[in-house]
A and B are shown apart, each in its own frame.
Chain A
């Protein structure tokens, strides 16, 4: 447990500003949304600023989150062998587990819960309706779970990519590549190949079954990535094998794209 406590102490010391920003933006977003909508309806100028704050928050949130998971994913990972933590008496597996708990708990769960609670507070205290694709509470819950699963799996994948980046390359490269690959893959799986298709998909009300299976798949994926992440911290050879496998996948995909382009040309 000392290992995990040491990581959390380090994490809070290093990332408290990011974590407080995440929580604050998530908690304020529903209120800002409500206030700006009310203000815009009444034609008030200040409402534009509140709306801008909401918009910036939505843009900033993923950036802060990715920066956070990129940083903690990298520190003390086997390829980050010159980080001071690598010579400390810590259990590498528990160090990795503490990172996962932080990324999922503080990075995703706390902001999501705060957002949900504040949205509920806006609805119940102000009697304001929320435009949700699934008005049914059961389906709404499952949709939230599916969303949480996707984000959790995406964050863990990005964290793994940041940890796999060889020493000497900034972790940002790994985390943004990881996030891009994961979320592009996620969109392609759902047949989203353009903005119009994305808009359409956002409006589709998934059935309970579809939401549940989506949530289940994503959570299983998150668990699988988490296990690989922990294993990698115990055994750097796995990291080398993963890098090779990823390199091979990229090469195959590039070859496929080139062949496709050639046949089109």
Chain B
């Protein structure tokens, strides 16, 4: 059973469609990054999955349960941290943990103490007196101490300093790997998740661009630069070649269905001298985003 499975999930806010027929599945034990620019629908997707928002059409299953029917049994296995989460400012860190602790049968007091120590959190300090970093770390303690099977993180690292960000990422990933948990992490900072994501989901303007294993995605994307022997090929670039550009006899593009054995020299016409290079997640994302933008124009 996949932790998350959606079928044509759609969410509208009045006339604005924030999420449009998104169909995807998140594999168990994966660290899945939801990527996209601001307004891509990342937060809406996560909030709809957790039934914080109801879907306008389509459906989502979380641990095999319709998202609209998620109850205590499912939420006892889901940890959630979001930059938009509202915590009462008068509450102290210790009080927040006191409220949530007894709700989870799997709450690990030793892990709670360890996380409080690692994150250097003063339990008697009120939320209104916490910096953004401390606030996020406190929410992480509440979301991690019961060893959730699914951890949903909505832009939790944005705005944090690099050291703090690295500490948090390391802690979260170590725990997830230790417990075999699934992590669904949204971010608009692609560099940030490049090194940790085993799977990626690209969203753009509420639509799913792609959802795939990171390694497979990297393997099938290549930057191709070729000096052509014949000019004919430039007139008919294939649809799967993104960002096709020609300057004189030189063409460059991003190949989206490349294989190791692809003979680019033959593909582009005999005699072409070709160089290929692997792409980073960011470059792959940008190629798709620009291609979509180009199609719209």
Q: Using known A-B contacts A6-B99, A82-B84, determine if residue A87 contacts B73 with beta carbons closer than 8 Å.
A: no
Q: Check B87–A6 contact: CB distance below 8 A.
A: no
Which residues from 60 to 94 on chain B have a C-beta closer than 8 Å to any C-beta of chain A?
A: 71-76, 78, 80, 82, 84-88, 90-91
Partner of B75, one of A5, A13, A82, A89: A89
Residue B53, interface by CB 8 Å: yes
Residue A91, interface by CB 8 Å: yes
Residue A258, interface by CB 8 Å: no
Residue A192, interface by CB 8 Å: no
- The chain B residue sitting closest to A92, CB to CB, is B71
Interface window among B100-108, B256-264, B265-273: B100-108
Q: Check A84–B86 contact: CB distance below 8 A.
A: yes
Residue A88, interface by CB 8 Å: yes
Question: How many Å lie between the Cα of A9 and that of B104 in the bound state?
Answer: 15
Residue B225, interface by CB 8 Å: no
Count of interface residues, chain A, beta-carbon cutoff 8 Å:
22
Return chain B residues, CB-CB under 8 Å to A236. 54
Q: Check A82–B86 contact: CB distance below 8 A.
A: yes
Return chain A residues, CB-CB under 8 Å to B84. 82
Question: How many Å lie between the Cα of A75 and that of B99 in the bound state?
Answer: 14
Which residues from 1 to 19 on chain A have a C-beta closer than 8 Å to any C-beta of chain B?
A: 2-3, 5-6, 9-10, 13-14
Residue B98, interface by CB 8 Å: yes
Question: How many Å lie between the Cα of A14 and that of B102 in the bound state?
Answer: 18
Q: Using known A-B contacts A82-B84, A82-B86, A83-B86, determine if residue A89 contacts B52 with beta carbons closer than 8 Å.
A: no
Closest CB in chain B relative to A118 CB, distance in Å:
30
Closest CB in chain B relative to A73 CB, distance in Å:
14
Q: Check B86–A13 contact: CB distance below 8 A.
A: no
Q: Check A86–B52 contact: CB distance below 8 A.
A: yes
Question: How many Å lie between the Cα of A168 and that of B111 in the bound state?
Answer: 35
Question: How many Å lie between the Cα of A91 and that of B74 in the bound state?
Answer: 11
1/0 per position for A164-208, CB-CB distance to B under 8 A?
000000000000000000000000000000000000000000000
Closest CB in chain A relative to B184 CB, distance in Å:
13
Residue B95, interface by CB 8 Å: yes
Residue A81, interface by CB 8 Å: yes
Closest CB in chain B relative to A33 CB, distance in Å:
33
Question: How many Å lie between the Cα of A10 and that of B86 in the bound state?
Answer: 14
Partner of B47, one of A80, A81, A91: A81
Q: Check B86–A89 contact: CB distance below 8 A.
A: no
- The chain A residue sitting closest to B71, CB to CB, is A91
Residue A90, interface by CB 8 Å: yes
Q: Check A82–B72 contact: CB distance below 8 A.
A: no
- The chain B residue sitting closest to A91, CB to CB, is B72
Q: Using known A-B contacts A6-B99, A89-B76, determine if residue A82 contacts B90 with beta carbons closer than 8 Å.
A: no
Which of B50, B71, B88 has the most chain A CB atoms closer than 10 A to its own CB? B88
Partner of A14, one of B54, B78, B82, B90: B90
1/0 per position for A64-88, CB-CB distance to B under 8 A?
0000000000010000111110111
Q: Check A6–B95 contact: CB distance below 8 A.
A: no
Q: Check B72–A14 contact: CB distance below 8 A.
A: no
Partner of A3, one of B72, B74, B98, B139: B72
Q: Check A82–B52 contact: CB distance below 8 A.
A: yes
Q: Using known A-B contacts A6-B100, A90-B72, determine if residue A81 contacts B53 with beta carbons closer than 8 Å.
A: yes
Question: How many Å lie between the Cα of A122 and that of B52 in the bound state?
Answer: 52
Q: Check A87–B98 contact: CB distance below 8 A.
A: no
Question: How many Å lie between the Cα of A2 and that of B90 in the bound state?
Answer: 23
Return chain B residues, CB-CB under 8 Å to A2. 102-103
Partner of B50, one of A3, A75, A87: A87
Closest CB in chain B relative to A59 CB, distance in Å:
24
Q: Check A14–B52 contact: CB distance below 8 A.
A: no
Q: Check A90–B86 contact: CB distance below 8 A.
A: no
Question: How many Å lie between the Cα of A5 and that of B139 in the bound state?
Answer: 21
In the complex, 20 of the A-B residue pairs with CB atoms within 8 angstroms, ordered by the A residue number, are: A3-B72, A3-B103, A6-B99, A6-B100, A6-B103, A9-B99, A10-B99, A13-B95, A13-B98, A81-B53, A82-B52, A82-B84, A84-B139, A84-B142, A86-B50, A86-B52, A88-B75, A89-B104, A90-B103, A237-B54
Further contacts, 8 of them, CB under 8 A, given A6-B100, A86-B52, A89-B71: A5-B102, A13-B91, A81-B52, A82-B52, A82-B84, A84-B142, A87-B80, A90-B75
Please give the residue numbers on chain A whose beta carbons come within 8 Å of chain B beta carbons, in ascending order: 2-3, 5-6, 9-10, 13-14, 75, 80-84, 86-91, 236-237
7 closest Cβ pairs, A-B complex = A89-B75, A89-B72, A89-B76, A87-B80, A81-B52, A82-B86, A10-B99
